[in-house]
Amino acid sequence: MTTQKVPLGDREVLRYRKRPRIVHAILASSFLILLLTGLVILWPALSFLAPGGATRWLHRVAAVGFMSVPIVYLIVDREGAKELMVDSFKYDRDDWRWIKRFWSYAFGHTANMPKQGRLNAGQKMHHALVMLLSASIVASGLALWFFMPSLGPTGQAWAAVIHDLSMLALTLLLVGHLYFTFVYKALSGMTRGYVDIDEARLEHAKWVEELEQEAAEEAAEEDKQAV
Amino acid sequence: MSQYAFLLDLGRCIGCQACVASCKVGNELGIGQQYIELIEKTHGEFPNLTGGWDNHRCYHCGDAACIAVCPTGSLFKEDGLTRLDRSTCSGCSYCTEACPYDIPVMWEGKSSKCDGCADTVKAGGSPWCVGTCPSMALEYGPREEIRAEAHRRADALRNRYPNAQVYGETQAGGLGMLVVMPDDPELLDIPIDPKTPFMAQAWQKIVQPASVGITIGAAVVAGAAAVVARRRHEEELDELEAAGVISGHGDEKEQEEDE
């Protein structure tokens, strides 16, 4: 999402516009369906749900939804998608310092953390890992879906193991994602789009300062025009 | 648990297809469904031809690759044989790719292969193919007895076929099908020493349980830690508010009222 002309209220700040929120909803819902339908053939206690192939069908439908996320994102919010892509792989000095103090942040302390931009270093790493692991889970999933006869026994086993380990890593990232959402009360950013201004100031100081500067410049421009 | 096995004497097989037919009829297999296929294999050029009938059917591996990759437990070992419960098969077809003998096939969306006539044998009968074979090329019984019989037959064959051997004692963890071969297995395109790839064994035995365990463990630890961390964060916000650094974070109620 772009940070231009973002409404900056007294108590809240717009964190995610509607379009990225929709993209996130597609990603989250397809991921959860994939996780649950995948568990059916991973956890023996759930294997009674597998006969009939309904869960496989659902898994494949959700896989199409999951794979469509980058395309949908580029269509509905090209600038935002590009920004997320670039930001997630760009780390400045403050980011590295933030990573060194990660545990303090993980346990609820924002004081003494280096100032962060719209994405903190943890979010950048999270997004980068999600992108890389998604690539590996999609590649191994497509191999198992379309190319199984040519994989051979060893290739099939490798594809299955890569698929499972990628999902394990993504699920652990999801656990971390939910953890920080809860600790820093960030859920509203993805439901209504707005987050608490104080939380944003503490956790994304550089971003809020940018927004304040933009708001001040806009106000000054309006004043000039009024005069 | 008793270990049972088939004896398949390729020195006696006359390729009559009786086993194929009786298996199909006895097990009431559907149209296009088949557990045994006789494939004539020849090597060399006339008049120096070698070969014979490849009795293409489940070898009931001791360490069965199909079982290692079956996600639903539909393939399992019982009495030394590899059974298949089609009612629980999800139709993933992993077994068809994993089998080193290329045995399971998909039929009507589910795996299909010999299950050693489980129902018939449990009812006191013998497998349909064994009961029908006119040349006594097929036998069924306790594995040790079958193994001894296989060696007796291979020894007898060796007078005429010097390469006669028993196949299946050690292959794939020891087969539930001991095959008396007049010549080397390669001549029938049967793999000499098929193995389940390590990764196929590791997938469901190590990777999957570890994945579930790690995920549950992480979720429990993160859940407990999140409660503590959120409390600490709220304390920090209170301190910052008291110090006038922030304007007031905990006014959620007030916000809701405003909305």
ipTM of the complex: 0.87
Torsion over CA: A84, A132, A94, B243 (sign): positive
What pLDDT sits at residue B248? 65
Q: Is residue A5 in some structural domain?
A: no
A118 — phi, psi (to 5°)?
-60, -35
pLDDT band at B195 (very low <50, low <70, confident <90, very high): confident
Q: Is residue A70 in some structural domain?
A: yes
| Peptide bond between residue A153 and the one before it cis (omega within 30 degrees of 0) | no
What pLDDT sits at residue A5? 45
Q: At residue B192, does pLDDT exceed 80?
A: yes
Q: At residue A2, does pLDDT exceed 60?
A: no
pLDDT band at B1 (very low <50, low <70, confident <90, very high): low
Record: contact B87-A51, CB cut-off 8 A: yes
Q: What is the pLDDT of residues B156-168, one digit of tens each?
A: 999 999 999 999 9
Tell me the residue range of the domain where A90 lies: 12-222
Domain residue spans of chain B: 4-196, 201-258
Q: What is the pLDDT of residues A197-223, one digit of tens each?
A: 989 999 999 999 999 898 888 888 888
What pLDDT sits at residue A222? 82
d(CA B115, CA B121): 10
Q: Is residue A63 in some structural domain?
A: yes
What pLDDT sits at residue B48? 87
Give B203's contacts in chain A (Cβ within 8 Å).
Answer: 157, 160-161, 164
Q: What part of A 64-103 touches B (C-beta under 8 Å)? A: none
Q: Are strands B4-9 and B177-181 parallel, antiparallel or unpaired?
A: parallel
Q: Which residue of A has its CA nearest to B251?
A: A11
Q: At residue B32, does pLDDT exceed 50?
A: yes
On whether the CB atoms of residues A47 and B85 are closer than 8 A, the answer is no
- Tokens 């630890």: give the residue: B221
Query: Among candidates B43, B104, B48, which has minimal Cα distance to B75?
Result: B104
Q: What is the pLDDT of residues B68-106, one digit of tens each?
A: 999 999 999 999 999 999 999 999 999 999 999 999 999
- Tokens 């006696």: give the residue: B12
| Amino acid type, A114 | P
Q: Is B205 on the interface with A (CB under 8 A)?
A: no
Q: Is A199 on the interface with B (CB under 8 A)?
A: yes
Q: Is residue A227 in some structural domain?
A: no
On whether the CB atoms of residues B20 and B32 are closer than 8 A, the answer is no
Q: What is the pLDDT of residues B97-154, one digit of tens each?
A: 999 999 999 999 999 999 999 999 999 999 999 999 999 999 999 999 999 999 999 9
DSSP states of B62-84: TT-HHHHH-SSS-EEEETTEEEE
User: How many domains, in total, are found in chain A?
Assistant: 1
d(CA A188, CA A132): 27
What pLDDT sits at residue B253? 44
pLDDT band at A3 (very low <50, low <70, confident <90, very high): very low
In the sheet where B165-167 sits, what is the strand order? B138-142, B4-9, B177-181, B165-167
Q: Which residue of A has its CA nearest to B244?
A: A198
Query: What mean pLDDT is predicted for residues A136-158?
Result: 93
Record: contact B197-A201, CB cut-off 8 A: no
Q: Is residue A139 in some structural domain?
A: yes
For the full predicted model, state whether its pTM sits above 0.80: yes
For residue B179, the cross-strand partners are B8, B167
d(CA A16, CA A190): 7
Whichever domain contains A47, its CATH number is 1.20.950.20
For residue B9, the cross-strand partners are B180
Query: What mean pLDDT is predicted for residues A9-29?
Result: 92
d(CA A79, CA B109): 45
On whether the CB atoms of residues A189 and A16 are closer than 8 A, the answer is yes
Q: Are strands B105-107 and B50-56 parallel, antiparallel or unpaired?
A: unpaired
What pLDDT sits at residue A43? 84
Q: What is the largest CA-CA distance in chain B?
A: 102
Q: Is residue A7 in some structural domain?
A: no
Query: Among candidates A83, A154, A174, which has minimal Cα distance to B97?
Result: A154
Q: Is residue A42 in some structural domain?
A: yes
The CATH number of B4-196 is: 3.30.70.20
